[in-house]
Structure 1
Amino acid sequence: MESHAGLAATPRALPYYVAFSQLLGLIAVATTGAWLGLYRGGIAWQGVLQFNVHPLCMVIGLIFLQGDALLVYRVFRNETKRTTKVLHGLLHVFAFIIALVGLVAVFDYHRKKGYADLYSLHSWCGILAFVLYFVQWLVGFGFFLFPGASFSLRSRYRPQHIFFGATIFLLAVGTALLGLKEALLFKLGRLGRSWNWVNSPQLC
């Protein structure tokens, strides 16, 4: 008989917390899509709208789906470990693929426009978050899904896996906020350039 993902009883308030987190995640995805559609012209793989693929994919992949993957072991406490492992891994696979599409979109857009890559704090934090996420997934697959790792090795690594998973998720959220701030500053810079507001001493 397969062991279960969690032996402790499910806290009574947990379903409400999970529902609230899903609501917040869907609102984040929806508002990002609405912002891109209403104020940035929409989404397309060709032309100037290709850049808009990047923020939407990153919010869906590295925030919404990654967040759901982190919740799997809390939500499905009464399922078998194998089931929760597979679901946890699949959510991370989907998150990685969608985030990779967003990353390719922005680099391809920069290449077509002749723009420099990795010119801001947001871009460096984004590359760091993506690389760490990929390494975390590979190491997690090697320890927990690949049948070769011993039980003792898995037990020793599990706390580090949980810690780095939460850290990478928080880094992704912070990076997304940096990107939104960067987009806002670029927009304000274009609007204020006519009266030289961007070069005002108050902003230095």
Structure 2
Amino acid sequence: AMPYENLDHPGASGGSSNTGEPSMKMFTIWVLIAQAVGLLAVILTAVWMSVYHGGFSWVPERVFNFHPLFMVIGLVFLYADGILVYRVFRSVKKFRVKVIHASLHILALIFAIVGLKAVFDSHNLSKPPKPNMWSLHSWLGLTCVLLFCLQWVGGLIHFLLPQTPQSYRKMYLPIHQHWGVILFCMTTVTAITGITEKNAFHDDASKLPAWEKLSNTLGFVLGIFCILVVYIVRRAEYQRVEPPAEPDEEMTLQQPTDEEKTG
């Protein structure tokens, strides 16, 4: 496999320096498919919680329902879109794309934090209160949120602050790129474990109710979405094409900030 640090450099080994028209047509198709699948995952989550689990309200009986919806929106869908902006906006000035990337991921973090509060409130406000952090899903979920925070802060320090030396940016670049994809896969797997945990509360294993069919479908859709996003990011043909930069931009923005693609 081609190193991540070479993915968006024209002429890098493992891929053509030119993104031809047929390749870009397929890129557009793959991105549209990924977006459709990601939106489907969000819709399925909303239907699962609203139709089969009582809807959304910040009361002890229904506050939990915000948790799966906000986690899928934040740490799956928005996280993926933040990763893909370096592909989709490959001809836009890099600094602007970085701002979009960081903004999508801070929005994803906000959804994740509210989603965490929802699940803790659902446990703490129950009568009697339910224990927190007892399952593998909860351990994975909290780990994902903490690592996501570290990833975001690391990207901010190394790629958005002009005071950061170029040598540090170059050193941190492969770490940021690799962990961006790894953590996205981890959040998707964690979401699927959450579905499994929720389904485990079903008493009669001999029957498969409609809500469980829907939640199983949701898990399948989340897996497909993850595969599509990783595929798009890994294809060298879909590399970012750097727009012409002014000399001062070359010094202050372009050279130190090669972290396109993976958040």
TM-score, normalising length: structure 2: 0.68
Q: Show structure 1 runs of 4+ deviating over 3 A.
A: 5-11
Residue pair 1:6, 1:78 contacting (<8 A) in 2 also: no
Partner AA of 2:192 in structure 1 = L
Residue pair 1:122, 1:179 contacting (<8 A) in 2 also: yes
Tell me, in whole angstroms, the C-alpha distance in 2 between the residues paired with 1:40 and 1:141: 39
2:99 is the alignment partner of 1:83: no
**Match in the other structure for 2:237:** none
Q: Give 3-state SS (helix, strand or coil) of 2:92's partner.
A: coil
Residues 31-46 of structure 1: pairs in structure 2 closer than 5 A: 31-46=44-59
2:120 is the alignment partner of 1:107: yes
**Match in the other structure for 2:140:** 125
**Deviation at 1:153?**
1.5
Q: Which deviations, in whole Å up to 9, do the C-alpha atoms of 1:156-204 show, x marking residues without a partner?
A: 2111101001111111000000000000011x23x46xxxxxxxxxxxx
Q: Which has the higher contact order (CA 8 A, sep 6+)?
A: 2
**Deviation at 1:6?**
6.7
Structure 1, 44-53 or 59-68: larger mean CA deviation:
44-53
Residue pair 1:6, 1:73 contacting (<8 A) in 2 also: no
Aligned residue pairs total 186
**Deviation at 1:138?**
0.7
**Deviation at 1:152?**
2.2
Partner AA of 2:93 in structure 1 = T
Quick check: which one's helix share is greater?
Answer: 1
Unaligned runs of 5+ in 2: 1-7, 11-16, 206-263
**Match in the other structure for 1:202:** none
Q: Give 3-state SS (helix, strand or coil) of 1:144's partner.
A: helix
Residue pair 1:6, 1:77 contacting (<8 A) in 2 also: no
Of the candidates 73, 81, 92, which is equivalent to residue 60 of structure 1? 73
Tell me, in whole angstroms, the C-alpha distance in 2 between the residues paired with 1:39 and 1:75: 36
Tell me, in whole angstroms, the C-alpha distance in 1 between the residues paired with 2:168 and 2:34: 32
2:137 is the alignment partner of 1:92: no
Q: Give 3-state SS (helix, strand or coil) of 2:55's partner.
A: coil
Tell me, in whole angstroms, the C-alpha distance in 2 between the residues paired with 1:161 and 1:103: 24
Residue pair 2:60, 2:121 contacting (<8 A) in 1 also: no
**Deviation at 1:50?**
0.1
2:131 is the alignment partner of 1:116: yes
Residue pair 2:38, 2:77 contacting (<8 A) in 1 also: yes
Structure 1, 172-181 or 147-156: larger mean CA deviation:
147-156
Tell me, in whole angstroms, the C-alpha distance in 2 between the residues paired with 1:149 and 1:74: 25
2:188 is the alignment partner of 1:147: no
Tell me, in whole angstroms, the C-alpha distance in 1 between the residues paired with 2:9 and 2:114: 34
**Match in the other structure for 1:160:** 175
**Deviation at 1:9?**
4.2
TM-score, normalising length: structure 1: 0.87
Identity among equivalent positions (%) equals 40
- Aligned-CA RMSD value: 1.4
Partner AA of 1:138 in structure 2 = V
Q: Which deviations, in whole Å up to 9, do the C-alpha atoms of 1:42-67 show, x marking residues without a partner?
A: 11111311000000000000000000
Q: Give 3-state SS (helix, strand or coil) of 1:44's partner.
A: coil
C-alpha distance 174-180 of structure 1, shift in aligned 2 (>3 A): same
Residue pair 2:42, 2:73 contacting (<8 A) in 1 also: yes
